[in-house]
Chain A
Amino acid sequence: MDIFLQLVTTGILVGSVYGLVALGWVVIYKCSGVLNLAMGELTLIGGYVCLSLYSGFCLPLLSQTGFCYSGFVKWMGPGAALGLGVMGSLVVGFLLGLLTERLFLRKMIGEPILAVIMVTVGLSFFLKGIVFLVWDTDLRVFTPPVFPSTDLRIGGHLVDGVVRGGIGINQVYMWAFFASMLLMLAFILFFKYTRWGLAMQACADDEMAALSLGVSAKFVYALAWGIAFMSAGVGGTVLGNINGLNQSVSYLGLLVLPAVVFGGLNSVPGAIVGGITIGLIQNLAGGYLDQFFPGGIKEVAPFVFMVLFLLFKPYGLWGWERIERV
C-alpha cells in the first residue's frame, strides 16, 4: 500500500507540471485553432533560458572576445536566483511567443489543417536546432543545485531524530507542484478578470462574433502563443531541475498530447486534469509494470493509454464533439 501511495503522490506532483504545459497547448487551440506539435521544444527553450540566467552564459561566436555573463546565482542565493531566472524566462518566453506568431503563423491563418500542423512541426525542428546550436547537446544541470536532495517524508515515524518510512516527496517535485499551481491560478485569474483575458475567451468561444465586437484576432493569437511559451517555459524549468536539461525534456513536452486528448482539446480544466492523469498513469505503469518489460514502459504507457482511450471516447472527457455535415 505504501508503494501505491508513493507512486500516486509522485504522479500527481509530476502531473501538475504536465497540466501546466497542457494548459498552454489548449490556450493556443482554443483561441486560434492551431494544433501545436512544437510543445516539446517550447519547454526546452524556457528551461535553457532560465538555466542561462541562473548560472551564466557565454555567446558562442563571441566567446573568444570573452563576452560572458556571470549569472544571477553569483549575486544572490540559489532560491532567489531561480525565482529571478523564472521571471526572466517568462518575459523572454512571452516575447518569443509574440515573435513566433508574427513571423511564422500569421500567414497560415485559414490554411488547411495539415499545413498548419506541419508548420508547427517545422518550427519544432527549427527551435530544437537553434537550442542545440546555442547551448550544446550535453546534459546541463543547475549548479549549484537549487533544491536540497533529501526527501520530505510524510506520515512516517521518528527514528533517531530523523523521520523514516511513510511517503517520500522529492523537494523538487514539491516546488514544481507549487509553481505549477501558482501559475495555473495566475492564468485562470487572468482569463477571468482582465480585459485581455476576456477578449481571449470571447475569441475562443465564437471568433466571428468577437471580431464583430472589436476584438483583434491577431492580438489574441499573439497572446495565446505568448502564454503557451510562458507556461511551457516554467514547465521546462522545473523538469530541468529534476533530471537536468537535455533533449529528453522535449519528449516530456510531447506528453502533453495524451493529456489534452484525455481532457478534451477544448477544455482548460480538462487539460489540467489530463496532465495529472498522465502523470499518475506514467508513475503507476512505471512502478507496477516495469518488471514485465525489459527496458521499461514508462515512456510508452501514456501513448498506449491514449490509443485505447481514443477508441472509446474520441473527444475526451470535456471536449466538444464535432458534428460533420456533407
Chain B
Amino acid sequence: MESYEADQKWWRTRFIKGKMLLMIVLLVAFPFLVDKQWLSVAYTINYYILAALGVQLLIGYCGQVTLGHAAFVAVGGYCSCLMVMFLPWPEVLRHAGLAYPISMICAGLLAGVWSVLFGLPSARVKGFYLILTTMAAQWITVDLIIQQYVSQVGGRLQSFSIPTEALKVGPWLLKEPSEIGTWTLESDAKIYYLSVVVVAICLLATGNLLRSKFGRAWVAIRDNDIAAETMGVNIVWYKLIAFFVAGFFGGIAGAFHISTLSFVSPENYPWTYSLIWVGVILIGGVGSIQGLVFGSIFVVGVFKLLELGAGLVNIHLVEYYPQLEWLTMKVDILKDVTFGLAIILFLMYEPNGLSYRYWQLKNYFNLWPFSYQAK
C-alpha cells in the first residue's frame, strides 16, 4: 500500500465494495422476503449488537472487564422514555418527528456520564475488583435507583407504558403501519429499518474511533497498561473515555429498545442481560466488530430455535409422549441452560470465537489455491 490512508481504508477493492452494496440491498429487502416473526428476531439481534458494542469496547479493546452493562442500557432506556413522555417539546419538533431521535442522543450522553461515574474505580483497581465494582454498578443502578425512584416518577407504580404517538421518527409513526404509495409498511418493519440505520451508524462510528488515536491507546492499555503508561499514554483519561463511549452506545441501545416494548420496567434490565452480552462477545470473538455480529446472531438464533423447537414438540409429540409437556412450559429455563452450556463449550473448545473461524474461512478463499501467504 502506498499511503497510510490507503492502508487503513476499510473497503479497498472494488470486489469488497460490490459485496457491501449487495449486503445493503439484502438488508433493505429483508422485510419483504421473510415471515413476520423473523423481523422481531432481526431487530432483537440489532439490539444485542448495540448493547454488546459497549461491552466489546471495554473488554475487547480496552481490557477493562465489565459485568454491569445492563445498568447503562437501562439508564439510556429510562432517560429516553421519560424525555419522550414528560418533556414539553415544542410542537414544531413533535410534528417533524425529531423528539425520539433527540431523546436517543440525550439518553446516550446521560448513560455515558453515568458510566464514567462507575468507571472511576478503574483508576484505582483492575481485573477482578473492577468486575466487582461494575457488578455493584448494575445493582445500585437498576435495583436501587431505577426501581425505587425513577419508576415512581409521575405517580405510576412500576412500569411506563409508552403512548404510540410519542415514538415518531421523521414523518413515520413507529408503532402503527403506514402507507407508502401502494404498499403498507408494518410497524415491525419500520422498527427493523430504524435498528439497521442506528446499528450501521454506531458500528461505523466505533470503527472510526478504533483506527484513531483512541483505539491505539485502548489497545495499548489492554495489552500492558504499565508499559503504556511509561510510553506516555494517560491511562486514566483513556479508560474513562472508554467507559464514556461504552455507556453512550449502551444508552443508544436502551433508547432504541423501548420502541420494541409496550411498557418499560426495571425487569427488562436484570443482571442476566449483562452476562448475556458478555457471553455474546465471547462467543463471537473478543476484540473484533464482526465478533459482535456473529455472537448476537448465534445467541438470538439459538434462543429462537429453542422456542421453535418447543413449539414443534408441543404440536407433534405431546399426543404420543405426554410427559414431555413440561419441556414446553419451561422454555425460558431451557434457554438459560443452553446459554450457559454454550458459553462453557465455546470457552473450552473455541476460545477465539466465531470470528476466528470466519477469518480462517475468508483466508482459505483469499489464498486459494495456495495454503499460506508467502513473504
* Residues in A lying within 8 Å of B, measured CB to CB: 35, 60-64, 104, 107-108, 111, 113-115, 117-119, 121-130, 132-133, 137, 257-258, 261, 265, 293-295, 297, 299-300, 303-304, 306-307, 310-311, 314, 324-326
Q: How far is the CB of B340 from chain A (nearest CB, A)?
A: 3
With contacts A114-B59, A114-B286 known, what are 5 further pairs, Cβ within 8 A?
Answer: A119-B343, A126-B341, A306-B133, A310-B121, A314-B129
Q: How far is the CB of B351 from chain A (nearest CB, A)?
A: 6
Residues of B within 8 A of A63 (CB): 323
- Taking a contact as CB atoms under 8 Å apart, the answer to whether A310 and B124 are in contact is yes
- Taking a contact as CB atoms under 8 Å apart, the answer to whether A121 and B148 are in contact is no
- Taking a contact as CB atoms under 8 Å apart, the answer to whether A295 and B147 are in contact is yes
- Taking a contact as CB atoms under 8 Å apart, the answer to whether B337 and A130 are in contact is yes
B contact residues, range: 35 or more
30 A–B pairs (Cβ distance < 8 Å), ordered by A = A61-B323, A64-B323, A104-B348, A107-B348, A108-B347, A113-B127, A115-B282, A118-B282, A119-B343, A122-B339, A125-B275, A126-B340, A128-B336, A129-B333, A133-B334, A137-B333, A257-B132, A261-B129, A293-B148, A297-B144, A299-B143, A300-B139, A300-B140, A304-B136, A306-B132, A307-B133, A310-B121, A310-B133, A311-B125, A326-B230
Residues of B within 8 A of A311 (CB): 121, 124-125
Residues of B within 8 A of A304 (CB): 136, 140
Within 8 A of A (CB), among B199-250: 224, 226-227, 230
**Assembly CA distance A261 to B322 (angstroms):** 49
* Residues in B lying within 8 Å of A, measured CB to CB: 59, 65, 121, 124-125, 127-129, 131-133, 135-136, 139-140, 143-144, 147-149, 152, 224, 226-227, 230, 275, 278-279, 282, 286, 322-323, 326, 330, 333-334, 336-344, 347-348, 351
**Assembly CA distance A115 to B351 (angstroms):** 8
Which one of B128, B136, B338, B348 lies within 8 Å of A113 (CB-CB)?
A: B128
Residues of B within 8 A of A107 (CB): 348
Residues of B within 8 A of A258 (CB): 132
- Taking a contact as CB atoms under 8 Å apart, the answer to whether B333 and A310 are in contact is no
- Taking a contact as CB atoms under 8 Å apart, the answer to whether A132 and B139 are in contact is no
Given contacts A303-B136, A310-B133, contact A118 B333 (CB under 8 A): no
Which one of B132, B152, B322, B333 lies within 8 Å of A132 (CB-CB)?
A: B333
- Taking a contact as CB atoms under 8 Å apart, the answer to whether A108 and B348 are in contact is yes
Residues of B within 8 A of A293 (CB): 144, 148
- Taking a contact as CB atoms under 8 Å apart, the answer to whether B152 and A294 are in contact is yes
Which one of A62, A118, A129, A257 lies within 8 Å of B278 (CB-CB)?
A: A118
Name the CB-closest residue of B to A114.
B65
Residues of A within 8 A of B333 (CB): 129, 132-133, 137
Given contacts A114-B59, A118-B279, A118-B282, contact A123 B340 (CB under 8 A): yes
